[in-house]
Chains A and B, each alone.
Chain A
Amino acid sequence: QKEVEQNSGPLSVPEGAIASLNCTYSDRGSQSFFWYRQYSGKSPELIMSIYSNGDKEDGRFTAQLNKASQYVSLLIRDSQPSDSATYLCAVNRPQGAQKLVFGQGTRLTINP
């Protein structure tokens, strides 16, 4: 079992719809969860972090965390073509709080 798992996609969503990205993790001791966006040929860009169960909203983005079920999700409302990118889920390792394990990423395409 991979430490952090994501559906590689591609996930295709029409413009204006809600894009839903999911991530599961294996270590119950993980405390910090991050979503990064990576455009092709660019570096990962931090877009959301979440540490407590529940929802966290920032503009069009909502991160959801359920520690009991060990999953994290990212919702993108009113999807725009500029949201087309690969989204990486990252989870910290409890034994080294600064160490992040990244999923393979989900490629998202927003269709105009």
Chain B
Amino acid sequence: DAGVIQSPRHEVTEMGQEVTLRCKPISGHDYLFWYRQTMMRGLELLIYFNNNVPIDDSGMPEDRFSAKMPNASFSTLKIQPSEPRDSAVYFCASSFYRDSTYEQYFGPGTRLTVT
């Protein structure tokens, strides 16, 4: 089975530009998560969806960040306008119910550099 798919794998953009990150979860998984990882702050949860509905976006840093999940097989994370401090690796993860809990599986990540 294909794992979580993310695109692009690398993104370099200038400050002020709009950035869109894409994610395809594992088929059959009903939860989707967006994380950000930096050396300083580690791995942080930004937002998660259940059955395409946003459940908790308390980790989204600012209004510049938005996420959507129009269907069960696609989600986007958008940053507009981007700033240098948004530079990080962004991971998408998905999960399904097993053994009374959900195990999350991560995609390869998108390395974002904002200059």
A residues contacting B by CB (< 8 A) are 31-32, 34, 36, 42-46, 49, 51, 88, 92, 96-105
Q: Which of A31, A98, A105 has the most CB of B within 10 A?
A: A98
Which of chain B's residues 20-47 have a Cβ closer than 8 Å to chain A? 31, 33, 42-45
Tell me, rounded to whole Å, the shortest Cβ–Cβ distance linking B35 to chain A.
8
- Write out the residue numbers on chain A whose beta carbons fall within 8 Å of the beta carbon of B45: 99-101
Shortest beta-carbon distance from B39 to chain A in Å: 10
Contact of A49 among B31, B33, B101 (CB under 8 A): B101
B residues within 8 Å of A by Cβ? Answer: 31, 33, 42-45, 48, 50, 55-56, 91, 95, 99-109
Cross-chain contact B101 with A44 (CB below 8 angstroms) = no
Give the dominant DSSP class at B's interface: strand
The CA of A103 and the CA of B108, in the complex, are separated in Å by 20
A-B contact pairs, 7 of them (CB 8 A): A44-B43, A49-B103, A96-B56, A98-B48, A98-B55, A99-B45, A102-B44
Whose C-beta in chain B lies nearest to the C-beta of A32? B101
A residues in contact with B56, CB < 8 Å = 96, 99
- Known contacts: A98-B31, A98-B48, A102-B42. The answer to whether A43 contacts B101 by CB under 8 A is no
Closest 9 CB pairs of A and B: A43-B106, A102-B43, A32-B101, A104-B42, A44-B106, A43-B109, A43-B108, A98-B31, A98-B102
Would B104 and A96 count as touching, CB distance under 8 A? no
Contact of B91 among A44, A96, A99, A105 (CB under 8 A): A44
Q: Which B residues are in CB contact (< 8 Å) with A105? A: 42
The distance in angstroms between the C-alpha atoms of A96 and B49, with both chains bound, is 12
Give the CA-CA distance A68 to B78 in the complex, in Å. 42
Q: Chain B residues near A98 (CB, 8 Å)? A: 31, 33, 48, 50, 55, 95, 102
Residue among A42, A43, A46, A92 having the largest count of chain B Cβ atoms under 10 Å: A43
